[in-house]
Copies of this chain bind each other. A is one copy, B any other.
Amino acid sequence: MDTNALPGNVLDPNCPSRVIFQRIGDKWASLVIQVLGDGPVRFSELRKMVHVVTPKVLTQTLRALERDGLITRTVHAQVPPRVDYELTSMGESLLQPLTLLRQWAESHVPTILEARDTYDEAQDDLLLGSSN
């Protein structure tokens, strides 16, 4: 009997919502989506904008996002090749929650950096203080 007949329970590892939640939180995926918020961008531009990501990892990220229907990949038959990545409407719908999160992060930078300093100093004191 699973306690999660609900469609979404991020705490249940068997629930797809957890996988999806973690895909959104992916190191690069969320950045890519935010970059694409201003319109289609080609591969090499993405690499420059979301620096410093290696081509392998960027490709993996883009494929995963494409597979999940968040972006589209359009190959223009020309040489040198041109490939545009663009948000789908579902991808666009993710923009707002992601932006809120980014704004939270940006507005709390000073507080967090301060907390880190305090924490690190306390750790130093522990190590040096008792000489155990």
Instruction: Type the 1/0 row for A48-66, where 1 means its CB is closer than 8 Å to any CB of B.
Output: 0111100000000000001
Q: How far is the CA of A51 from the CA of B9 in the complex (A)?
A: 12
Q: Are A112 and B11 in contact (CB under 8 A)?
A: no
Is there a chain B Cβ closer than 8 Å to A83's Cβ?
no
A10 touches B24 (CB 8 A): no
* A113 CB to nearest chain B CB (Å): 6
Give A66 Cβ to nearest chain B Cβ, in Å.
7
For residue A35, which residue of chain B has the nearest CB? B11
A99 to B97, CA, bound (A): 9
Question: Given A11-B50, A90-B108, A109-B7: A119 and B34 within 8 A (CB)?
Answer: no
Number of interface residues of A (CB under 8 A): 56
Please measure, in the bound complex, the distance between the C-alpha atom of A68 and the C-alpha atom of B118, giving whole angstroms: 9
| Inter-chain contact A90/B111, CB cutoff 8 Å | yes
- The verdict on A119 contacting B67 (CB below 8 Å), with A101-B101, A106-B10, A109-B20 known, is yes
Contact B90–A17 (Cβ < 8 Å): no
B16, B26, B106, B118: the one contacting A109 at CB < 8 Å is B16
Contact at A100–B97, with CB atoms within 8 Å?
yes
Q: Residues of B contacting A13 with CB < 8 Å? A: 51-52
- By a CB distance below 8 angstroms, the chain B residues around A69 are 111-112, 114-116, 118-119
